[in-house]
Amino acid sequence: MAVLVHSWNEVDADALCAHARVVAFDLDNTLAVSKQPMLPDMADRFTQLTCLTPTAIITGGRWELVVSQILDVLGERANRANLHLMPTSGSSYYRWNGHTWQCEYARTLSEADRAAAIASLTRRAHEQGIWPDHPYGEPIEDRGSQITFSALGQKASAEAKRAWDPDDVKKQRLVAAVAADLPRLHVRAGGYTSVDVSEGNVDKAYAVRQLAQQVGSTPEQIVFIGDRMTPGGNDYPAAMAGAVAVHVNDPSDTVQLCDRLIRGFMKRTAAHDAR
């Protein structure tokens, strides 16, 4: 069933801010270019948002990328206590305890499941002719709670990734083959070139539901912003879980949307203080 997805430049930001309990973001190609740190303008807006409202990151990437892309460039003024960090599609969850980042839970795959996922992804990618001969970084990454195959390698450029499988045919064919091998695990298309394997039904719908439980809200009170918001995209499950879904094309859109959100949350705060 199709769900409503808002375009970043058409959404009513004031109404959204009046309703929202949490603003959640995808990471790659939403807050930052794939595998690269947030640019200063984005880091500034993100820092401001953490001072106005609970803010989450839900990404298919591993924890170390959240650190290098977000935390290492986060402004000193950021309210880290307002941050909810959910790498590997929410299969792990981190909060600031006043001194350091603490892992609240992690749904780590067993050694046998990780080995089976790696074997299936490797075999099926070779069979389908999509195993990279000259990858940019490793084609398969063991993220503990998630195994990820990247058809061009982890470090390929964003432009190359976007061009590799624009209609998602290659990824969905690989998903189907690997899912048949691993019926107990959850296999899904990830980013532009990736397929992810995790425990159970762990995806961004799972992450949104977990986040709602952690903050004492409903999924409908969570705004989720991402660049892969069409059916089959790895951000779309957040919309299906009930989050208010907002589509951006790239971090430059996100910067402009954040400016509108910051104004909206400031209006909300002023109205509350005036009561």
| Degrees, nearest 5: CA angle 156-161-163 | 135
- Of 26, 203, 235, 253, which residue is the catalytic one? 26
Q: Both tokens of residue 85? A: 């960090």
CA distance linking residue 239 with residue 1, whole number of Å: 11
Query: Cα-flanking dihedrals φ and ψ of residue 32, to 5°?
Result: -155, 155
Query: Cα-flanking dihedrals φ and ψ of residue 7, to 5°?
Result: -80, 140
In this structure, what DSSP letter does residue 252 have?
H
Residue 227, marked binder: yes
CA distance linking residue 245 with residue 220, whole number of Å: 10
Residue 145, marked binder: no
Residue 44, marked binder: no
Residue 196, marked binder: yes
13 and 266 Cβ atoms separated by less than 8 Å: no
Residue 220 exposed, middle or buried by CB count within 10 Å (0-12, 13-18, 19+): middle
Residue 194, marked binder: yes
Task: Mark whether 26 is an active-site residue.
Answer: yes
Task: Mark whether 12 is an active-site residue.
Answer: no
Q: Both tokens of residue 130? A: 């999509």
Helix (H, G, I), strand (E, B) or coil at 142: strand
- Of 14, 28, 181, 259, which residue is the catalytic one? 28
Pairing of strands 222-226, 244-247: parallel
Helix (H, G, I), strand (E, B) or coil at 243: coil
Residue 14, marked binder: no
Residues of each annotated binding site for alpha-D-mannose 1-phosphate: 143, 194, 196
Residues of each annotated binding site: 26, 28, 143, 194, 196, 227
Residues of each annotated binding site for Mg(2+): 26, 28, 227
**Active site (catalytic) residues:** 26, 28
